[in-house]
Amino acid sequence: MKKTDIAMIILIASISVFVSYFIAKSVFGDVYSGTANVKTIDKFDSAITQPDPNIFNSNSINPSVQVQINGTGSGSSSTSSGTQ
């Protein structure tokens, strides 16, 4: 390769980089330089607060208890009464 060929490749590559930079900047826009307000949390401490007694009480439903529904209440029964 001649020196002029290498110089032409470098020139074309640098021009294509500049063109692609400006195209990408026009498509994606500039970086947002404004400020944003975010919420922060209070400092954690080691004090434990008691849970709400309206929710956690002795009359609450315990979701860890297994419930079996076998159709022995009021309403339709689960057995079929077919005719022979």
Tens digits of per-residue pLDDT, 16-52? 999 999 999 888 887 777 888 989 988 887 888 888 8
Cα–Cα nearest to 68, from 81, 80, 82, 78: 78
| pLDDT for the residue numbered 10 | 95
Enumerate residues 6+ apart whose C-beta is below 8 A from 78: 70, 71
Question: Could you say which DSSP state residue 42 is in?
Answer: P
How confident is the model over 53-78, as a mean pLDDT?
A: 72
Decide: pTM greater than 0.85.
no
How does residue 74 score in pLDDT terms, banded at 50, 70 and 90?
low
The number of residues making up the chain comes to: 84
Question: Could you say which DSSP state residue 56 is in?
Answer: S
82 has pLDDT over 50? no
The stretches of the chain forming alpha helices (DSSP H) are 3-28
